[in-house]
Amino acid sequence: MDTSTPTPTLLPYKHVGGPESAPTGTLESFNPATNELLGNVPTITPDQVDAVVAEIYKVQPFWAELSFADRARYMRRAAKVVVDRKDEIAALITAEQGKVRTEAYAMEVMTSVDSMLWAASNASKFLSDEKIPSTQAFMKTRKMRFHYQPLGVVGVISPWNYPWLLAMAEIATVLMAGNGVVFKPASLTCMIGQKLQEVFDEAGLPEGLLRTVHGGGAVGQAIVDSPGVRKIFFTGSVEVGRGVAESCAKQLKGCTLELGGKDPMIVLSDANMPLAIDGAVWAGFSNMGQTCAGLERAYVMHDVADRFINGVVEKAKGMKIGPPNEWSSEVAAMTSPDQYELVKELVDDAVAHGATLLCGGPMDPSQLPEGQRGGKYFAPTVLTGVNHGMRIMQEEIFGPVVPIMTVDDEDEAIRLANDSQFGLGASVWSADKDKASAMADRIEAGNVWINDHMYTPGISQCSWGGVKDSGLGRSHSKFGFWEAVEIQVQAATPAREASLWLHPYDETVGPSIRATIDLLYAKGGDRFRTLAESSGALGRLTARSIRARFRK
């Protein structure tokens, strides 16, 4: 099988808007493993964002009027394009983001197709009008329903660590909800973002409904600030996310934020140890640890700690470092040189404060495969002797580092797991499902996995998001759909029915409502007593209601 590095390409850029939104420059993209130039994409300036949004609004009302079945046909065609072009897309992900080939298919391409098809199949289930039962006796003639209205134009600002899956899952949800999208990919993976636009263009999505724009953080901020953008879906750092939330709050518009994590892994004495070791290695080192829900700290019962630590170290040392486009490669360059420096800084700080480096660390270029020496490689790293006074146990690492602590009991493990400003994910490893589930109930996180870690972001029916500094709201699942709409209640009264509480207030209305409280909610004898005492007022109110039916 050919394992040579393909040359990523993009179709010639086609501008679909007016001159006020036409690109004014270019953004270059580089291969993180070789530092070679891959290509470039067109950019706009921040003051052009409002024009882009206005142009999307010319298309969005038509899209919102389509049935769910019609929207789903476009989405399924786009999913077919991804399947047909899977090799091309995976090659671009490998070349631009640096993810090894197997993970490009498994973590990005396959899961994105599933998210598109799930959105196409389930939008009508969760967003069709929903009847509200009239459970109150005095409301039995009323017809009430939830109606889910598209927001209009939604901004999707995606990260560089999962540039295809995370963007596609949110865009699929937002589009199926009837909205238009202004999409800004991360600058480090701008070509992947532009390729996503090509997929929808090839699928025949109404021209201009999805607009991909580039131009750095200033363009992203302009999307957040644009009065025409009704909501923001943002994935990124806590610092930037706080700014997004503040800007949205000033405009009284919503935002869904996924801001990273510090995921703990709790290994109990009865855990399947080979499985726990394999899980730690995969959760800690896949995608070079550049995963918001990746393993960032492990707490292991003291009686099994040596076996667990030795097993993780042995497997970490055995991971294959090689060109990311080879099927067998497991370790590749980090995507961001700045993130590489931060990971190195955190590891050095931990060692300086007493931690023991059992394996891994920054790699010298001479250790790297020929042709890969322009990248920033960090070998899978295991630390022991860490404690919560160290930065590495409090700050997000976002790199291939697993710090391990030994604990005495389950209560200590839970306390340490919750001792974090983050709350995205966590895992509990035990042969006792009931015990693990009870522990999961006590963990402060948006996602808890038992005997596995971090896989549900790729399962569309599961919600995705966290608590504390890990963000606000949820994407994916039915909750993701509800984040992409306005929820309206429509309540209908028969044309000739007068409500009991209408004016004039008198000795009929007030006493009747007072009596109704007992008739509906009191017990036994109190009901009969009230009925006897208030029969006159209730009769007069009933007669008034009947007369109202015949007024003209």
Which candidate, 126, 129, 107, 130, places its Cα nearest to that of 118?
Answer: 126
C-alpha atoms less than 13 angstroms from C-alpha of 399 in its C-beta half-sphere: 29
Task: Please state, in angstroms and as integers, the Cα–Cα distance from residue 468 to each residue in 114, 212, 420, 430, 475, following that order.
Answer: 29, 31, 9, 26, 16
- CA-to-CA distance for 126 and 462, rounded, in angstroms? 14
Q: Is 292 a catalytic residue?
A: yes
Which candidate, 453, 466, 461, 451, places its Cα nearest to that of 426?
Answer: 453
Task: Please state, in angstroms and as integers, the Cα–Cα distance from residue 466 to each residue in 248, 397, 445, 448, 474, following that order.
Answer: 19, 17, 6, 10, 8
C-alpha atoms less than 13 angstroms from C-alpha of 243 in its C-beta half-sphere: 13
Q: Is 248 a catalytic residue?
A: no
- 96, 292, 330, 410: which one is catalytic? 292
Total number of residues shown for the chain: 552
- Kind and range of the H or E run holding 529: helix 524-549
- Kind and range of the H or E run holding 436: helix 433-442
- CA-to-CA distance for 206 and 200, rounded, in angstroms? 9
- 198, 258, 330, 483: which one is catalytic? 258
**Residue with tokens 């560089």, as numbered in its chain:** 160
Residues labelled catalytic: 258, 292
